[in-house]
Structure 1
Amino acid sequence: MMAEQQTFVIVGGGLAGARAAEAIRGEGFTGRVVIVAAEDAYPYIRPPLSKEYLQGGADRDSVFVHPADWYAQQDIEVLRGHEASALSPGSHELTLVSGEVRRYDKLLLATGATPRRFGGEGAQLPGVHYLRTVADSSALRAALSPGNRRVVVVGSGWIGLEVAATALGYGNSVTVLGHEPVPLAAAVGERVGHVFAGLHREHGVDLRSSTDVDALLGDARGVTGVRTASGDVVPADVVVLGIGVIPNSGLAEAAGLEVDNGIVTDASFQTTDADVYAVGDVASVYHPVLGRRIRIEHWANAENAGAAAGRAMAGAEVSYDEIPYFYTDQFDLGMEYSGYGVLAADAEVVFRGDVEGREFIAFWVKDSRVVAGMNVNVWDVNETVQRLIRERVPVDAARLQDESMALEDLLSPVGADEGN
């Protein structure tokens, strides 16, 4: 008697879910693969939503992971516009908001994260924007592209600063209101944060730090201003709220899975239920190098971890140990960052190159090892930076700073070329 065909269900229509489905098929799985996507769209990539697409340099179709017909060719069913409402691990069932129940043999939660909402007055006014989905980006692009508007960005993190740069590029006046004393200090430290602060101010952004927002002002016609906690009112025609995200872990928590700043998994993305996996922004994954769990919200994690999770579901042996990576483009500054933020938080920062001219590499060094690196307007070095981190090569500040020494030569430990 022929065995019943297995069904793998992926909850989430983002990059991580698409890469997981692709990897499941790549491992030779011939059963049913179903992607449940809450948005009425095929899986797409998020970085262009705050970069090329928002800037008007790419069309909407460019954000999709695969063309629509690719899923049919791979025999992958995509349920667009279907949100999951309940997960029952005991019965291996997923219930949709429509009431439909889907049975699964294995299931992957790739539900992502939701922008943190502003809790004060005026949050629902016309002209107030968040940026997470392709619809959000389309709406914001339409609001920014006429130019000559007063744009206020609340939040001085990566999304806030990228939106600010794009808004200014359209010919708008831009004010950024940041809670932190230095933008990005929580992510890259104050010294590097000052580099980005200087970049924005030089280009004309009114960047205000240590500023909290009390209310958004306006009427039925739209937002007209932002009132700060000190009582100042900043005039606004468009307000963009970039105050962080919250992992969409409610489905898992209600199902009894362990949740701690995301859905808890081992290094193979398996949750506390053997047939349920989690990946991407929503997952708090054990990292074997760090010996602890981390939750990463960047594109490269969705790309690489999504594929790894798919392989694990299909039966491959997986212990995910990729080095976190992200990038940004703002005005004339391009940057790549690789490394472990949890280790970099209290590490020494060593600079190589011209910091004032914004053409340098920053290394975060802890216990004589590089734990993170950022190349700013310096290219074709990220692979070497990642090797320094991965191979834990002993380094000293003088060698890192010495531009006469090729970066690749730093891979040789201190003293390796001596005494021969």
Structure 2
Amino acid sequence: MKSVTVIGASLAGLYAARALRSQGFDGRLTIVGDEHHRPYDRPPLSKDFLTGTTGQDQLALADAEETAELDAEWLLGTRATGLDAGSRAVRLDTGRTLTTDGVVLATGAIPRRLPGPGSPPSGTHTLRTLEDARALRRDLTGGGPARVVVIGGGFIGAEVASSCAALGHHVTVVEAAPLPLVPQLGRDMAELCSRLHADHGVTLLTGTGVTQLHSAGVDDRVTAVELADGRLLPADAVVVGIGVRPATDWLADSGLPLDNGVRCDAGCATPIPSVVAVGDVANVNGTRAEHWTSATEQAATAARNLLAGRSVATHQGLPYFWSDQYGVRIQFAGRRLPGATPRILEGSPDDRSFLAGYERDGRTTAVLALNRPRPFMRLRRELARAAQPATT
């Protein structure tokens, strides 16, 4: 293989490029990214960057020396518009077509938007990119306390709510489900985590959706959020955090199997051996993981299989994610199986500091911690060892 093109210049794309070089690929490496920035860390965007305690220069995932060592051609501010998977021809919005021996798909995901015609009013934000975070930060700084409505009570919504509260704003979180985070944590643990909002003066409204955003003025500025139950919430800024969808629109005519992402085997390989997928865009054996660790761990496996031309390795990583909210670090690892019962192993939920194990049939399958990083890491390692296939 003499040339590889990585589509996506964020976390997963960077780690794939690193893996290719570390595994001996010395051919032409091209990295295409639709943003104008070199790869940067996204988790701080909803936290320290939003509150102003972290600057843009602290977000970089690779310094100048490492970037030079990758010896890649960077096509930034360039969007891939199509792929002929059979011939590995990548069409770009510049009119250029790249023909390459191997392709790594790392285009990530796109925030879901509220349904309805037209563009949302000014002052309405999603949070996925550095430019998104900059725009939201401009709306939140420079004036007095603002009325912020966060639509969606998942991890991104909760982190944004936490940051806005830390900046002194009046925050309301609207969640359509009866309780946020139940699919990830189960009802009992989700209820404990949801109490963090009230602890810090944030209003959580559940069991109702949003029907309309109201606006006024020559700049069509958002003024209120209308809920499905008829309530009207005054708003100076609105953040929509209702999930993401994989960025696969540009692959519609590629011939690749698309189903909630790019369908891959356990080695991140598509049915076309010269094309692999990593990160948020990859549906690996029916599962698409939208977490930092998944993107980084998949890269080495995908690179190995791409260079081999077939699946010679599989990704065996244990699911893991974390979230920082209101000064509390929430960490989760493992798989919460149906019927698993959480049990507090140490600490107290009343103190918002505890370690819990999810147990089924006498076996711990997942672990959750609030502000218990050391014992959590110990149990995470134990779960990872238990999940490894037996060797003879």
Structure 1-normalised TM-score?
A: 0.87
Q: 1:409 aligns to what?
A: none
Alignment deviations for residues 177-206 of structure 1 (CA, whole Å, 9 cap, x no partner): 111111211211121111222111121001
Relative distance call for 1:265 and 1:256 in structure 2 (3 A) is: same
2:212, 2:293 → 1: CA distance?
Answer: 35
Q: 2:170 aligns to what?
A: 173
Alignment deviations for residues 259-301 of structure 1 (CA, whole Å, 9 cap, x no partner): 2221111122110111100010011113xxxxxx311001111
Alignment deviations for residues 44-97 of structure 1 (CA, whole Å, 9 cap, x no partner): 121111122112111102112113453233211110011011101222211111
| Aligned-pair Cα RMSD in Å | 1.8
Does residue 1:135 correspond to 2:131, yes or no?
A: yes
Alignment deviations for residues 224-264 of structure 1 (CA, whole Å, 9 cap, x no partner): 00000111110000000001101112233421111222111
Q: 1:25 aligns to what?
A: 21
Would you say how many aligned residue pairs link Structure 1 and Structure 2?
381
State the SS of the aligned residue for 2:321: strand
Q: 1:43 aligns to what?
A: 39
1:49, 1:38 → 2: CA distance?
Answer: 18
Report the CA distance between 1:389 and its aligned residue.
2.4
Q: Aligned to 2:377, which of 341, 363, 383? A: 383
Does residue 1:356 correspond to 2:353, yes or no?
A: no
Report the CA distance between 1:124 and its aligned residue.
1.8
Q: 2:111 aligns to what?
A: 115
2:353, 2:118 → 1: CA distance?
Answer: 41
Relative distance call for 1:123 and 1:150 in structure 2 (3 A) is: farther
Structure 2 runs not aligned, ≥5 long: 388-392
Q: 2:315 aligns to what?
A: 320
What amino acid does structure 2 have at the position aligned with 1:137? Answer: A
1:96, 1:211 → 2: CA distance?
Answer: 42
2:33, 2:327 → 1: CA distance?
Answer: 36
Relative distance call for 1:89 and 1:121 in structure 2 (3 A) is: closer
Q: 1:234 aligns to what?
A: 233
The correspondence of residues 1-400 of structure 1 with structure 2, limited to 5 A, is 6-68=2-64, 70-120=66-116, 123-146=119-142, 147-219=144-216, 220-221=218-219, 222-286=221-285, 293-315=286-308, 317-341=312-336, 343=337, 345-353=338-346, 354-392=348-386
1:173, 1:67 → 2: CA distance?
Answer: 38
2:379, 2:368 → 1: CA distance?
Answer: 8
1:274, 1:392 → 2: CA distance?
Answer: 31
Alignment deviations for residues 365-393 of structure 1 (CA, whole Å, 9 cap, x no partner): 22322221111111212332223423449
Partners of 1:370 and 1:392 within 8 A in 2: no
State the SS of the aligned residue for 2:374: coil
Partners of 2:151 and 2:175 within 8 A in 1: yes
2:99, 2:119 → 1: CA distance?
Answer: 39
Relative distance call for 1:389 and 1:359 in structure 2 (3 A) is: same
What amino acid does structure 2 have at the position aligned with 1:337? Answer: F
What amino acid does structure 2 have at the position aligned with 1:139? Answer: A
Q: 2:390 aligns to what?
A: none
What amino acid does structure 2 have at the position aligned with 1:124? Answer: P
What amino acid does structure 2 have at the position aligned with 1:76? Answer: A
What amino acid does structure 2 have at the position aligned with 1:271? Answer: T
What amino acid does structure 1 have at the position aligned with 2:54? Answer: A
Large movers: runs of 4+ above 4 Å = none
State the SS of the aligned residue for 2:186: helix
2:46, 2:156 → 1: CA distance?
Answer: 7
Q: 1:418 aligns to what?
A: none
